[in-house]
Amino acid sequence: MRKSFPAEDLARDGRFRRARTEDRFEDPRNEFLPPGRRAGKLTPDRSDAAHAARQLMHGIFVGEIQALEGAGRTVWDFDDDEAPFALKLDMARQCWDEARHTEMSVKLGEWMGTEVGEFAETAFLYQAACNPDPVLRLTGVNRALEGLAIDVFNTMREFGEACSDPVLSFCEDWMLADEVTHVKMGSDWLRRLTENDPERRERALEFQRVVDKLFSFRGFRGEADDSPIQLARTFRRMAGFGDTEIDTIAADAEAGSDPEGWRAPVG
Ligand SMILES: [Fe+2]
Ligand SMILES: [Fe+2]
């Protein structure tokens, strides 16, 4: 089996629609509100709430598949000198979690009235998992993108509560607990593997910052009152993020915010 498998060759059946990340984000069909009107926090009283929630759930579903594929590749792509065996055990555990999340997300999508392929899939999560340095890979995926998953799941959990939908809120709560664990793994391994190599740690944190900035989606994820996905500070702290680090993500999201509104980020 070859190492470092390219995103284009990932196995998908005929239901999936692959799109380039930039095309997906710029697609005007993502906008269900008049131009220039910011959607605001995902709440049931938004006129496009049902559509926005289905789209987000489809994005979560394809993200779970790619998280599974990425963690699986990390188990395989590196020898024990590059990535300690204990790190691979953590990744194997993560595969188990992501497989369960994939199944839960596809069922939640059906529950909410969508199906596989209603929205396009971009490969951005898996692409971040192709970094040849295991530390950068883990930092980009397990801290930046799984950190985003914490924010997304917390948003969805609160949306489920606001809709009085116990199926959605319970499922999101359980997945959120796993994602906190995955981010914590990223935080712990980053600290361990770069203990004596501050330069490598700096490179990894810089890679994380680039990924974080990109996936704040021009303010779609942030701390502004009208950001649809809110930064989940408490859960991020539990996952090994310091307050300064969270402040930086919030400030970068604010600086990159687009007053003309967002494009839906995932799916
Ligand atoms: Fe997951
Ligand atoms: Fe995860």
Q: How many domains does the chain have?
A: 1
Separation of CA 197 and ligand 2 centre (Å):
26
Cβ burial of 143 (10 Å; 0-12, 13-18, 19+) is buried
pLDDT band at 263 (very low <50, low <70, confident <90, very high): very low
Joined tokens for residue 62: 């394809």
**Residue 61 belongs to domain with CATH number:** 1.20.1260.10
In a domain, 134, yes or no: yes
Separation of CA 130 and ligand 1 centre (Å):
18
Separation of CA 141 and ligand 2 centre (Å):
9
In a domain, 147, yes or no: yes
Separation of CA 211 and ligand 2 centre (Å):
16
In a domain, 260, yes or no: no
In a domain, 62, yes or no: yes
| 61-77 tens-digit pLDDT | 999 999 999 999 999 99
In a domain, 201, yes or no: yes
In a domain, 265, yes or no: no
Give me the domain span that covers residue 221. Answer: 18-27+40-255
Separation of CA 178 and ligand 2 centre (Å):
7
Separation of CA 180 and ligand 1 centre (Å):
10
| 147-203 tens-digit pLDDT | 999 999 999 999 999 999 999 999 999 999 999 999 999 999 999 999 999 999 999
| 201-246 tens-digit pLDDT | 999 999 999 888 887 776 778 887 777 888 899 999 999 999 999 9
| 19-59 tens-digit pLDDT | 888 787 776 666 555 555 566 788 899 888 998 899 999 99
Percentage of the chain modeled with pLDDT above 70: 91
Separation of CA 65 and ligand 1 centre (Å):
8
Separation of CA 260 and ligand 1 centre (Å):
31
pLDDT band at 264 (very low <50, low <70, confident <90, very high): very low
In a domain, 167, yes or no: yes
Is pLDDT at 266 greater than 50 in this prediction?
no
pLDDT band at 256 (very low <50, low <70, confident <90, very high): confident
Ligand nearest, relative to CA of residue 63: 1
In a domain, 195, yes or no: yes
Separation of CA 68 and ligand 1 centre (Å):
8
Ligand nearest, relative to CA of residue 105: 1
